[in-house]
Chain A
Amino acid sequence: MNCYEAIDLMGDAIEGTLAPDARAGLDDHFAECPPCRNYMDQLRLTCQALGHLREPGAGERRHDLIAKFKQEFRDRT
């Protein structure tokens, strides 16, 4: 396996959906290619960091939306 092929497999490897034989091939490549191993480790940390990003809340629109929800279900039930 060369670096190009290894990179193709990294997304699935991060997901944990890589087939066992492909995973073994990737691990073999990592054993002889530290840059690819570093790259994959860093992609994984990047994904983890993305999962920790936070978005702001609904603020002033929250009350309004809940009122609309109540109205919808009051009107139709």
Chain B
Amino acid sequence: MRVNPWGTEAELLARLRAGDEAAFAALVDDLHGRLVGLAATFTSSPPLAEDIVQETWLGVIRGLRAFEGRSSLRTWIFSILVRRARTMAAREARRGVPIAGSESRNGEGFVEWSPGNGRVGLWDEAPRPWALEDPAAIHQSREALDVVRSALDGLPLSQRQVVLLRDVEDVAARDVCNILDLSETNQRVLLHRGRARIRRALDRYVREGARPPSPGRTGGTSLQTQQAFRGPEGAGNAEAAGLKGESSASGGPR
């Protein structure tokens, strides 16, 4: 879990309920951007996403005293946001503002994973090592993080919401199921599919330098300039050759 700079959650809650302004300011600083990110998965209108977050904060302010602490504070706030977002995005959609994340992106000829028959759509092309001298180079590279952000933003709506809460916000699986009203199985499937697509985008970036399509995202440190990347002719080939010899197939799942 994320480190709570105010000590325990109970201490933070006590301070908030006592009207401690600094505690609330710190909560806003910690969560506001995350809430905007989550709200943006419900609408393609940035101003509406901001409004959803504003409404969420007002709900938090009004509800703090009655909040019983049965879930964590963050889970409670995310839940408020999702309820507000669903109502507000549906209302706006009736007025012609499109709801975010068209599920039609599901296509792309990408074979999806489902539990028990785990096709990931990758094994036609068996995953080869990234040959990074330091695996931390991925999350230390701004360019790689741009690739991740871009892939996350491109996910179908429901995958994006689950990946955002689970992996970006570090919310527990059980809480994500409650916040998004998903079954445990469905949550697992969406999480894996989302992660698989983002992994694939990173794979293309690491091997071929494929960057996100937006021209504005330049600068930062690339993996190549960090010299952490030994290039596509590195250890990967040996592994792939080994696999071919082993399975006599072209790397398909066994």
Contacts and interface: CB of A to CB of B under 8 A. Distances in A.
Contacts of B123: 3, 35
B139 A61 contact: no
A53 B119 CA distance: 28
A48 B24 contact: no
Main secondary structure of the interface of B (DSSP, over half): helix
Most buried by A among B18, B203, B253: B253
Given A4-B253, A68-B58, A38 B198 contact: no
Interface string B116-132: 11111011001111100
Contacts of B120: 7, 39
A32 B242 CA distance: 10
A49 B254 contact: no
B199 A42 contact: yes
Contact of B168 (A6, A39, A53, A56): A53
User: Chain A interface residue count: which class?
Assistant: 35 or more
Most buried by B among A7, A11, A50, A66: A50
Nearest to B198: A46
A38 to B, nearest CB: 4
A69 B32 contact: no
Interface of B: 18-19, 21, 24-25, 28-29, 32-34, 36-37, 50, 54, 57-58, 61-62, 65, 113, 115-120, 122-123, 126-130, 135, 138-139, 144-145, 148-149, 152, 163, 167-168, 170, 173, 188, 191-192, 195-196, 198-199, 202-203, 239, 242-243, 246, 251, 253-254
